[in-house]
Every structure is written in C-alpha cells, then in structure tokens.
C-alpha cells in the first residue's frame, strides 16, 4: 500500500490511537460510581450480567440506547489532516 511520506505502520498507529482515545473517553464518562440494581430513568431492574460487564452502570439497556442517541460519541480528531494542510 502506497502511503507517501508516512512510515510503515502509520495507518495502524492511527487506528490504535483512535481506539485508545475512544476507550479513555468511555472510561472517563463511566465514572467510579457503584452499579445500580434499578435503572435511574425508568426504575426497571438491571440484570446482574450487565452490572458485572459494565461497572458503574446506571441505566437499563433501553434507557442507555435513548441516552446514546441523545448524546452521540464525539467524532474524534482527523489525525491525518487534509493534503492541502500538509502542503502548506
């Protein structure tokens, strides 16, 4: 694959950095609260497996889906930039 001036593995490095940033943002959003047994929004029971899989969970799956649609994850940064910005 031709990458121009980029060193070998640069694309994979960008992918790894993007994934690491997304994981860090998710962990920061999660907080250090104890998992709830009942949803903070609708008071539905939160299954034990969900509480174990997601420490600090506050919402049931249905309410979490609504919250995710309301607050979509950030688009991140364009690490490569455009060709125009590289030529200046």
Is there a contact between 46 and 36 (Cβ–Cβ < 8 Å)? Answer: yes
Walking along the chain (88 residues) 10 residues at a time, the average pLDDT comes out as 67 89 78 86 94 89 92 64 56
pLDDT of residue 22: 84
- Whether residue 57 lies inside any domain: the answer is yes
First to last CA, the chain: 25
pLDDT of residue 74: 64
As for how many domains the chain has, the answer is: 1
Name the residue range of residue 66's domain.
Answer: 30-71
- Whether residue 9 lies inside any domain: the answer is no
CA atoms within 13 A of residue 79's CA, in its CB half-sphere: 13
């Amino acid at each position: 694959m031709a990458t121009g001036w980029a060193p070998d593995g640069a694309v994979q490095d960008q992918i790894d950095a993007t994934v690491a940033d997304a994981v860090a943002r998710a962990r920061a959003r999660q907080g250090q609260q104890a998992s709830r047994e009942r949803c903070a929004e609708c008071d539905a029971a939160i299954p034990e497996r969900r509480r174990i899989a997601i420490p600090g969970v506050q919402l049931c799956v249905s309410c979490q889906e609504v919250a995710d649609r309301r607050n979509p994850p950030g688009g991140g940064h364009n690490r490569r930039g455009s060709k125009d910005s590289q030529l200046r």
